Amino acid sequence: MNAVEAPAHAPKTRTYEKPDKPWQVVVLDDPVNLMEYVSRILIRIFGFSREKADQLMMMVHQEGKAIVWTGGREKGEMYVNQLHSAQLHATLEKAE
Amino acid sequence: MTLAPTLNGGLKLIPEERQDWLVLLEIAVDASANLAREFGGLMDEDSMWDEIVVPELEAEFSVQRKHVLKAVKKARRAKEKEIVIEPKDADLWYGALNQARLSLEAEYQFGPREFAEPEEIQDPAMRSAFLRDEFYLTLQSLILRYVSTD
């Protein structure tokens, strides 16, 4: 039996981990919440300009939902918590 | 019922008839205690929403309902039969009204306002709920316009 010499150096391997996909805070439409109220809540929570808040609010109204924020899960959950506290229908989804 | 903005940024409600008091008392009745749990249903299990967030939301929503009920009962017993919604209480009133409207919508599915016509509603309970919802909506709009500080 021939002895197999161990290589002097273990082959170097480098693994690249894919960064986690970001999370999206999604506001959903409902027939109850007033459009003006939705805009005000988006400004209050996210600090959006009135123009951006109105734009996102209209997207919620016309398309049924709008992504209002993208980032880490923990912060996203904090935002959804604040949106629920304001009684807006919202959820957290992993970005596609 | 008379509704009027006050000079210090509030909104005064002056109920004049028995029905006025009843509709104000109905706000807390219509507001469902299940709303927080319904919001929890929008989140996945990993978020632990039901365990952590829902109890907090339930407590918060309960405070809103109790505030409105207490204010109406207190005004009904008082010499001056009026309620003033101060700016500091705007969120409590708006929230209680919103809870009531979300609950009524969940039960009756009125849909978007522009498609709903009260005279076409045959069921008396549903028609009554729709008219209460209309009143709550009016009150919310006035709070946003005259009282909210945002």
Mean pLDDT of chain B: 92
Q: What topology does CATH give the domain A30-94?
A: Ribosomal Protein L30; Chain: A, (3.30.1390)
- Say which DSSP state B80 is in: S
Q: For residue A15, what pLDDT is reported?
A: 63
Taking the Cβ of residue B149 and every Cβ of chain A, the question of whether any pair is shorter than 8 Å is answered with no
Q: What angle do CA A10, A12, A14 make, to 5 degrees?
A: 145
Domain ranges of chain A: 30-94
Partners of A31 on chain B (C-beta within 8 Å) are 105, 110-113
Chain A contact for B138, CB < 8 A? no
CB contacts, 8 Å: A37 with chain B: 94, 140, 144
Residue B121 pLDDT level (bands cut at 50, 70, 90): confident
Confidence of residue B43 (pLDDT cuts 50, 70, 90): very high
Per 3-state DSSP, what percentage of chain A is helix, strand, and coil (rounded to 5)? 40, 20, 40
B140: nearest CA partner in chain A: A34
- The residue among B32, B34, B37, B42 with the most chain A CBs within 10 A of its CB, best to mutate, is B42
CB contact under 8 A, B42 and A91: yes
Q: What's the confidence (pLDDT) of residue A76?
A: 96
Cα(A40)–Cα(A63) distance, integer angstroms: 19
Q: How far apart are CA B89 and CA B147, in angstroms?
A: 9
Chain B nearest CA to A59, separation (Å): 16
pLDDT tens digits, one per residue of B61-112 = 999 999 999 999 999 998 888 999 999 999 999 999 999 999 999 999 887 7
CB-CB under 8 Å, A87 with B144: no
Assign B129 a pLDDT band (cuts: 50, 70, 90): very high
**The token pair that represents B111 in the structure block:** 């849909």
